[in-house]
Structure 1
């Protein structure tokens, strides 16, 4: 069985969105009519949920495999059939959860009429998802640092995927290099999220949308024009959950300047987020 496989409905959920002992996913003792791969997938989901809650509550260093199994209602032998150890399970939860986040952001970006709106709406999706599952936010943004070199590699890969949303930004004023500026913006957004989550303000993350949207646009448009764009553009309705579950966001052809003839917020292709 592919260890990264999840039932389609579960692919939309962040790890930690449910408890590991969710009764709806209980597997009755004795002969089961469920195929072995379905049983294994269900146990894996429960373990990832149990891991997220355990790590968020106890910290990565203090969480044990026994704690995770207890939270999931799954035995240690089953855990070791699915994962090589705590780090392997943690990275699996992180990769699956951040993949859900990136897909939801990409769907919001693709539904927007232009780049400026796309950046704002993808940020909205990110902030709402993390605020909705605070245990995952703590595990993925704070506790990932305790994993060591493998955790640092995961952070670097995640930030690279975030950079894809800035793949076709307008040339910044003053001859500033685009790559360095995008790195600064992406890093600044990530550290802002880290500070808020670490301070216990995860539920307040959506309140950061105006500041982070301006922060992302201003280096490329100038602060005045960025503010004007953000005030002028309408809010895009949230994409249906099913649209975010596809492996790759829909492709959209560039449509040239906006209605005012200003090329600074042209319609661009959705980012290739590596999914």
Structure 2
């Protein structure tokens, strides 16, 4: 599968990429009814899509279970058969979507010939996916704080997974701890995403690729060497 086709497939898999009320996703009644497990999986997917679109539009605090069910075309009893409440559904959507993003980043990273190129290609994959589904980006990055302690724990776990891409960083001079530097870099990347998404410029996320690539490599290689590896001009 070509990289572009793979990105398109992954974008569709992100919650919020499709409307839950799409007639093509309706479950027909009658003798040919699908097996219960298939029905439940379809309803769950529709509810995750409905939640992401609703939260992106109204915010987590204002979104209600009824709003989510309406967006998904699913009843409240079905919602509560699948989730314990709004927070549970939100976290399920977040985990599912971020797993798609991490998987695509990992594939891009693994396909690259070296660590520097791998970081850039992993960033490219992430930025492209988030730009392709703005509702998921808003829900996963901006509204996560509104969930409270559970949301903060989810973000911490996500950032820990991002740190795995820096397992090959070179030793830093002057006794600077590589782990602390990686934490600073990962946090900085997340902050840059957050600012652009919060400003309603999610479609412009791919424009951050040169800056974020250099930002990720410069602390470990030096600005000039990082720029050389990335074939870009160093930041003055």
Q: Is the pair's TM-score, using the shorter chain for normalization, greater than 0.5?
A: yes
Check whether the contact 1:170–1:220 (CA below 8 A) recurs between aligned residues: yes
What RMSD over aligned residues (CA atoms) do the two structures have, in Å? Answer: 1.4
Higher relative contact order (CA 8 A, sep 6+): 1
Match of 2:216, SS? Answer: helix
Contact 2:142–2:197 (CA<8 Å) still a contact in 1? yes
Corresponding residue SS for 1:152:
helix
Q: CA deviation at 1:32?
A: 4.1
Question: Does residue 1:195 correspond to 2:195, yes or no?
Answer: yes
Alignment check: 8 A CA contact 1:20 1:73 kept: yes
Q: C-alpha distance in 2, partners of 1:215/1:185?
A: 7
* Structure 1 gap segments, 5+ residues each: 1-8, 233-275
Contact 2:11 2:17 in 1 (8 A): no
Distance in 1 of aligned mates of 2:42 and 2:209: 35
Larger fraction in helix:
2
In 1, Cα distance between the equivalents of 2:43 and 2:10?
12
Distance 1:114 1:123 in 2: 14
Q: Go from structure 1 to structure 2 and tell me whether the alpha carbon gap of 1:70 and 1:31 turns closer, same or farther (over 3 Å shift).
A: farther
Partner of 2:98: 98
Q: Kindly indicate whether the alpha-carbon contact (under 8 Å) linking 1:12 and 1:100 is maintained by their aligned counterparts in 2.
A: no
Work out the CA distance in 2 between the residues paired with 1:10 and 1:141.
18
Query: Match for residue 71 of structure 1?
Result: 71
Aligned to 1:123: 123
Q: Distance in 2 between matches of 1:31 and 1:22?
A: 22
Deviation at residue 31 of structure 1 after TM alignment: 4.1
Q: Which moved more, 1:80-89 or 1:31-40?
A: 31-40
CA contact 2:11–2:133 (8 Å) conserved in 1: no
Please give the per-residue CA displacement for 1:33-56, whole angstroms capped at 9, x wherever unaligned. Answer: 311000000000000000000000
Pick closer, same or farther for the CA change 1:122–1:10 going to 2, 3 Å. Answer: closer
Deviation at 1:11, TM superposition (A): 9.9
Contact persistence 1:127–1:206 (CA under 8 A): yes
Runs of at least 4 residues of structure 1 off by over 6 A?
9-12
1:159 — aligned with what? 159
TM, length-normalised to structure 1? 0.79
The CA distance in 1 between the partners of 2:204 and 2:77, in whole Å, is 40
**CA positional deviation for 1:167:** 1.1
Counterpart-to-counterpart distance in 2, 1:66 and 1:59: 14
Q: Aligned in 2, Cα 1:11/1:194: closer, same or farther, shift over 3 Å?
A: closer
Shift of 1:175: 2.8
CA distance in 2, matches of 1:181, 1:10: 30
TM-score where L is the length of structure 2: 0.92
Cα offsets for 1:221-263 (capped at 9, x unmatched): 000000000018xxxxxxxxxxxxxxxxxxxxxxxxxxxxxxx
> What's the offset of the Cα at 1:132?
0.2
The reply to whether residue 34 of structure 1 matches residue 27 of structure 2 is: no
Q: How does 1:1-275 map to 2 (within 5 A)?
A: 13-231=13-231
Report SS of the residue matched to 1:125.
helix
Q: How many pairs does the alignment contain?
A: 224
Structure 2 unaligned regions, length at least 5? 1-8
Q: Distance in 1 between matches of 2:173 and 2:211?
A: 21
Q: Tell whether the 8 Å contact from 2:11 to 2:132 is kept in structure 1 after alignment.
A: no
